[in-house]
Amino acid sequence: MIRIVVLISGRGSNLKAIIDAIAAGQIDGSIVAVVSSAPEVPGLLYAKENNIPVAIISRKPDSNPDLYGDAMAELIAPYNPDLVLTAGFMYLLRGHFLERYQGKIMNIHPALLPAFPGAHPHRDVLRYGAKISGCTVHFVDGGIDSGPVILQEAVPVLPDDDEDNLAARVLQVEHRLFPLAVSLFAQGRLQIEGRKVRILD
């Protein structure tokens, strides 16, 4: 059973998806802590409802990613996580955090990387006129949504889509794909080979 720390910055719907997947026996693991970048984010309610320890590590927009990563590494070290999930966590983390948990940090991004990285993928997809979007689960490196891809799934962009409609449809896939990637990790079936992630039988 793996020990999981989840980092959030908002509503926490992917956190809830992981919690539900663990409860359903789909993931051989437990969430040992939820860490938020702000004290009042809605996603913390899911942690409290499930008696998961909560920690806050506030970040100013101009904070140094290396220093913030150092502080995050120090904060979560006592929880001894096997896997760290950034689930709607909106800040870069570098420094000791990346060094200590390399290959053990997983993110979900609501677009088909390497297309449309960053904080506003749905807006960018619609402005570009893309016909397909989707979501990507990837390992985290020092860049913006640039780490090795674990799983992806496409979602069509419909002619009348706005950001909210597209986001809602992609989110349904996120809630299935993220727990699947975590389950594969817990089973020891993910092997990083350079930029590729091999899924072992």
Assess if residue 197 is contained within a domain. no
- At 110, give phi and psi (nearest 5°): -85, 55
Q: What are the strands of the beta sheet with 196-199, ordered from one edge?
A: 54-56, 29-36, 2-8, 83-86, 105-109, 132-139, 149-156, 196-199, 190-193
Read off the pLDDT of each residue in 189-193 and give the average, rounded to a whole number.
Answer: 98
99, 72 Cβ separation under 8 angstroms? no
pLDDT of residue 61: 61
The tally of domains found in the chain comes to 1
Q: Is the dihedral of CA 79, 82, 88, 92 positive or negative?
A: positive
Rank 56-60, 78-82, 90-94 by mean pLDDT and report only the highest.
78-82
Assess if residue 199 is contained within a domain. no
Write the pLDDT tens digit of every residue in 3-53. Answer: 999 999 999 999 999 999 999 999 999 999 999 999 989 999 999 999 999
Share of the chain above pLDDT 70, in %: 99
76, 5 Cβ separation under 8 angstroms? yes
Assess if residue 31 is contained within a domain. yes
pLDDT of residue 58: 86
Domain CATH for 32:
3.40.50.170
Tokens of 178: 């993220």
Write the pLDDT tens digit of every residue in 144-159. Answer: 999 999 999 999 999 9
pLDDT of residue 144: 93
Read off the pLDDT of each residue in 97-121 and give the average, rounded to a whole number.
Answer: 97
Assess if residue 115 is contained within a domain. yes
Assess if residue 195 is contained within a domain. no
Domain carrying residue 179: 2-189
Among residues 96, 109, 138, 175, which one is catalytic?
109
Residue 109 designated active-site: yes
21, 185 Cβ separation under 8 angstroms? no
Assess if residue 164 is contained within a domain. yes
